[in-house]
Structure 1
Amino acid sequence: MASGFKKVGIPILILVGAIAVMVGLISMKTQPEKDEIITRDFLIDAKPIEVQNVDFLVYSQGSVQPKNRTMLSAQVSGRVIAIADNFIEGGFFKKGDVLVELETADYQTDLLLAESEIARAQAAFDEEKARGKVAAQEWRSFNDGNAPELGLRKPQLAREEASVKAAQANLQRAERNLDRTKIRAPYDGLVKSRDVDLGKFISLGGQLGEVFATDVAEVRLPLTDDDIAFLADLSKESPQVTLSSDVAGKNIKWQGRLVRDEAVLDTQSRVIYGVVEVNDPYQLNAPAESKGMALRFGRFVSATITGITSSNMVVLPRNVLRMDGTILTVDDNKKIRINFVTVQRADEDFVYISDGLNPLEKVVMSAIPNPYEGMPVRFLDDEETPKTQPESTADDNAIEVK
């Protein structure tokens, strides 16, 4: 009996004692302090709304071309006997300069023949006029009435007068043909290409080369309907245009005017082309002290066109405008306001707001995940919390434990 008790009772006593010791230890443990959970408002960056007048700019690009270009051709035929030194690719010339000369022997002969013909016709006319006077005197000596026109030789006189006019016309043609053996420059310009050499026979209408006028350059700029909406009426004024291009590592600028548009949409690109004019692009007539870089034909340039001016506009970074067309602002109570705005224009960097914002509020410049109307926020420049309270600006409604 005693041995049985020992086998069963002793383990039970040990287990009960262990439980009693554990309960005692647990009862003596100090209860931990409860941490206070603090929810912070979302931290944002905001800036005051500024209303201003905006001069809109329209951007485009195009290539520089001459306003006038001419394919020189011969109005008479003949062999080339002289070519001007400046009639080479890239050569400059003045209006009236002789660029090419053709042989003149045949045309000088034609001129002599025309002069002799007009002398013969004039002599015949004078002779017929004298005969008419003699006939009139004879008629008056024998008759008292009016003489018939045939009796006074008026038809014959008219025929000789016509012969004189025809001879004069032939003389003028011969003089023109002789003068046309010298092909002159139609304006101040430069030579684009030359298609003639010494000794070459040029037929009537044969091409001699292509020349460009250097008084005015043009740049055709593609413009969309949105671009046109921000430009002034070209029939009333010509907006200022700044052309720019990188030349030898430097950004060079030229000034021009948008003078017209081509009035017809391009069937492929569906844009309309505006035409910018630049006076004296090669600086040929500019004073030596104020000469700049020449705007060469064929150069590709970027264009900045001064557009219309709009008042009471709010200009904001493009990223501030949300996908649904709204902009977040903060009122005096540091509550979020979701505003549906009227976007006058938007480009790669900015949006221009004409309506929908309260000038007394601030625009939220930082991103807010899942904002809602009336959401409380705090600013970067608000008073900092005590150092014993670590803060996090990464998450909305961050929880801090102290």
Structure 2
Amino acid sequence: MYIPNTKALLIPTLLLSFASTAVAEGAPQGLPAEVITLKERAVNSNIYSIGTLEADESVLLRPELTGKIIAIPFQEGGKVKKGDILVQLDDAQYRAQVAEAEARVKQSDSENRRVEKLFNRGVGSETDRDGTQATMKINTAQLDMAKINLEKTRIRAPFDGITGLRQFSPGDYINAGSELVQLVNIDKMKVDFSIPEIHLLNVSVGQAFSIRLPSFPGREFVGKVSAISPVIDEKGRSISVRGMVDNKEGVLRPGLFAEVILTTDSKTALSVPEEALIPQGNQYFVYRVVEQKIDMVPITIIQRKQGAVAISGPLNSGDVIVTAGQLKLQPGSPVTPMFVDGSQPAPGAKKEAATEGASE
């Protein structure tokens, strides 16, 4: 009696059943291709320039008097407050001049009061009274001048800041006008740069910009335009612009070279990787996946930046775009999407949604 080979019959049946189930569930068919989900991103219109950082305030301190240095209360490279004494000159001579002037003022004040009494009694003359008053004013002015010179022996910080390196020591004899030490305030930094005159209407006070520095690769510092020169440079046909950059961290230093990026306009646009573009003559296209088939869509390039391309065309956010494998594909051909941006729908999501809709 013939016994059929049930194993041989079962395998084709199972394969046929699996294939039918796969087709029924809408399993991907066709060649595999890397895809992403189309999204919008900010697209900025920028003006690029270069500049050099400068301290918000900077001064090279010089003495107004000639004398010997007797004290240096500051620490090189340290922070100081406005009014702090940085250098003290020998003030013995000037203190003596103040004492002498004070004695003269006291004497002239007594003489003036005595003459005033006599004049009020009708004994003294008006000339004597005017003379003593003038003498008192002269002596008072000389006292003020002596006090001013005494104060000039103390070189103080004109603003909060950081001191530079000194090239002198206690005991050094310095002349008036000699360079002592530099003081800078770097809580904020100035950056001066130039832009072509054609962008005159695209820049305004308060406008945001960013800077990149070779000393800080990968970082950007944000600032705002603080002033615009009222004069156009006739030789370079450019406009001088000054910006302020916050430096609360204290990492920026005067003299650093900076690349300036001035944003003139900002909007959103659809963005695809550079490799998604398909050039044909003077036109560019992308492959869009619609119901797991290829649809060829013409696009217009708005901006290229660091491997990303902002585009416009008959596309929508959420469309699936092919980024690799285009050479093996053509419009209308089936495709198996392989999401490389982590946006792939959860397995079975469509089936569950269909089931819920049917149950309702």
TM superposition score category, shorter chain reference: 0.5 to 0.7
What is the deviation of 1:335?
Answer: 7.0
Larger Rg: 1
Q: Do the aligned residues in 1 keep the contact of 2:210 with 2:221 (CA within 8 Å)?
A: yes
Where does 1:2-401 land on structure 2 (aligned, <5 Å)?
50=38, 52=40, 54=42, 56=44, 64-84=53-73, 86=75, 88=76, 90-135=77-122, 153-154=125-126, 156-220=128-192, 233-235=204-206, 239=208, 241=210, 256-263=222-229, 270=238, 272-282=240-250, 294-299=251-256, 308-311=265-268, 313-318=269-274, 320=277, 326-329=283-286, 338=298, 341=300, 343=302, 345-353=303-311, 357-359=313-315, 377-379=331-333, 381=335
What is the deviation of 1:158?
Answer: 3.7
Q: Do the aligned residues in 2 keep the contact of 1:329 with 1:362 (CA within 8 Å)?
A: no
What is the deviation of 1:381?
Answer: 0.8
Structure 1 unaligned spans of 5+: 1-42, 139-151, 283-293, 370-375, 384-402
Residue 328 of structure 1 aligns with an amino acid whose one-letter code is F
What is the deviation of 1:53?
Answer: 5.5
What is the deviation of 1:229?
Answer: 8.2
What is the deviation of 1:46?
Answer: 9.5
What is the deviation of 1:244?
Answer: 6.8
- Cα distance in structure 2, aligned partners of 1:223 and 1:330: 40
Residue 108 of structure 1 aligns with an amino acid whose one-letter code is R
Q: Do the aligned residues in 2 keep the contact of 1:245 with 1:253 (CA within 8 Å)?
A: no
Residue 52 of structure 1 aligns with an amino acid whose one-letter code is E
Q: Which has the higher strand share?
A: 2
Q: Give the TM-score normalised by structure 1.
A: 0.57
* Paired positions, count: 296
Query: Are the structure 2 counterparts of residues 269 and 80 from structure 1 closer, same or farther at C-alpha, using a change threshold of 3 Å?
Result: farther
The CA RMSD measured in Å over matched residues stands at 4.5
Q: Do the aligned residues in 2 keep the contact of 1:223 with 1:274 (CA within 8 Å)?
A: no
Q: Do the aligned residues in 2 keep the contact of 1:217 with 1:280 (CA within 8 Å)?
A: no
Q: Give the TM-score normalised by structure 2.
A: 0.62
- Cα distance in structure 1, aligned partners of 2:197 and 2:304: 14
What is the deviation of 1:72?
Answer: 0.5
Q: Do the aligned residues in 2 keep the contact of 1:66 with 1:216 (CA within 8 Å)?
A: yes
Query: Are the structure 2 counterparts of residues 85 and 328 from structure 1 closer, same or farther at C-alpha, using a change threshold of 3 Å?
Result: closer
- Cα distance in structure 2, aligned partners of 1:352 and 1:227: 23
Q: Do the aligned residues in 2 keep the contact of 1:70 with 1:210 (CA within 8 Å)?
A: yes
Q: Do the aligned residues in 1 keep the contact of 2:36 with 2:322 (CA within 8 Å)?
A: no
63-72 or 156-165, which moves further after superposition?
A: 156-165
- Cα distance in structure 2, aligned partners of 1:193 and 1:199: 17
Q: Identity across aligned pairs (percent)?
A: 19
Per-residue CA distance 1:19-71 (angstroms, 9 max, x = gap): xxxxxxxxxxxxxxxxxxxxxxxx99797894636263857775543211110
Paired residue secondary structure (2:121): helix
What is the deviation of 1:116?
Answer: 2.1
Q: Do the aligned residues in 2 keep the contact of 1:44 with 1:378 (CA within 8 Å)?
A: no
